[in-house]
Amino acid sequence: MTHSDDVRKFLTSRRARITPEEAGLPVYGGNRRVAGLRREEVAMLAGMSIDYYIRLERGNLSGASDSVIEALARALKLDDAETAHLFDLARAATASPRVRRKRSPQTVRPSVQRVIDAITIAPAWVRNDRGDVLAANDLGRALYLDLMAEQVTPPNSARFTFLNPKAREFFADWERAADDIVAVLRSTAGKNPFDKDLTDLIGLSYEALELPADPGLRINVYTAEPGTPAEDALKVLASWAVTQRATAEIPVEEKK
């Protein structure tokens, strides 16, 4: 699918889901051929000419200013993730082909691994902008045990969420987790961590730390409020992780 196709399908689908009543427009007669808004109605709501909107909806966002994108987002009642995606599409339309072909990082520097390994009381892991989990500390691997156990390398959060049956047990609300995954993949900027449902499930808060020296990589670190059940659960997880590591280090002869 080309970039123009992405733009066209995104804008037409969003236009189709909004009724004139929802947009605050009067409705005359009952013979509308479209369920959602007409192109001219979107153009009017966004304050642009119908010809210009048609050009945008056909997939040509090149040169569209931030104010145009913001007006279009308001007219189509886009949420934050959808607005971010529209801005990404607009930026991609004006980016050079070399920039658009840039691949997501696939490895982490040894110093980054040392940083997350030094975090011993909180789960930490590193992912790229498409959801590949590239590194984790002991608690991070324990927290995402089923994800890390996948045969494909590197493990991918989206693939786990949609293709692994265990994901429906892992997330407290799989449907919302899936929506978050789609939003992150759509925006590619990771505006909302895709594991928000995991946060809701275990009561952890998180900090997402961008790595300026490694564009596209982010460290997620989970913590818990002191004196809460989540802190107790985190301590249990830490104890279990230590036990697992110690067991793995015992020579085969001693296990017999």
Question: Where residue 5 falls among pLDDT bands split at 50, 70, 90?
Answer: confident
pLDDT at 41 over 60: yes
The residue with greater pLDDT, 161 or 1, is: 161
pLDDT at 193 over 50: no
Question: Where residue 191 falls among pLDDT bands split at 50, 70, 90?
Answer: very low
The predicted structure's pLDDT at residue 103? 59
- C-beta atoms surrounding 182 within 10 Å: 16
- Interior CA angle at 222 toward 120 and 138, to 5°? 35
* Residue type, position 153, single letter: T
Structure-block tokens of residue 218: 């982010």
Question: Where residue 192 falls among pLDDT bands split at 50, 70, 90?
Answer: very low
The predicted structure's pLDDT at residue 132? 86
Q: What percent of the chain has pLDDT over 70?
A: 80
pLDDT at 56 over 90: yes
- Give the torsion sign (CA, 178, 166, 151, 113): positive
Question: Where residue 43 falls among pLDDT bands split at 50, 70, 90?
Answer: very high
Per-chain mean pLDDT for the chain: 80
The residue with greater pLDDT, 55 or 217, is: 55
Q: Which residues of 142-175 are buried (b: 16+ CB within 10 A; e: fewer)?
A: bbbeebbebeeebbbbbbbbeebeebeebbeeee
pTM (two decimals)? 0.50
Q: How far is CA 103 from the centre of its chain?
A: 17
Question: Where residue 30 falls among pLDDT bands split at 50, 70, 90?
Answer: low
- Please write the tens of the pLDDT for every residue from 198-255: 444 444 766 777 778 787 787 878 788 888 888 888 888 888 777 777 676 666 555 5
Judge whether 135 and 112 are in contact, CB under 8 Å: yes
Across 14-23, 27-36, 39-48, 117-126, least confident range:
27-36
